Amino acid sequence: MRVRIDGENCSGHGRCAKYAPNVFRLDDDGYNADRGNEIDVPAGEEDKALLGIKACPERAISIVDA
Ligand code: SF4
**pLDDT value, residue 11:** 95
pLDDT tens track for 11-22: 998 999 999 999
Ligand 1 atom closest to residue 11's alpha carbon, by position in its atom list: 3
d(CA 31, CA 43): 23
CATH number, domain 2-65, options 3.30.70.20, 3.90.45.10, 3.30.200.20, 3.40.50.10880: 3.30.70.20
In the chain, which residues have pLDDT < 70?
none
Identify the pLDDT of residue 33.
Answer: 98
Say what the pTM is: 0.94
| 20 ligand 1 Cβ < 6 A | no
Cα separation of 40 and 30, whole Å?
20
Identity of the residue numbered 30: G
Cβ pair 15, 57 in contact under 8 A: yes
Q: Does residue 49 have its Cβ closer than 6 Å to ligand 1?
A: no
Give every strand in the sheet of 2-5, ordered side by side.
Answer: 38-40, 2-5, 61-65
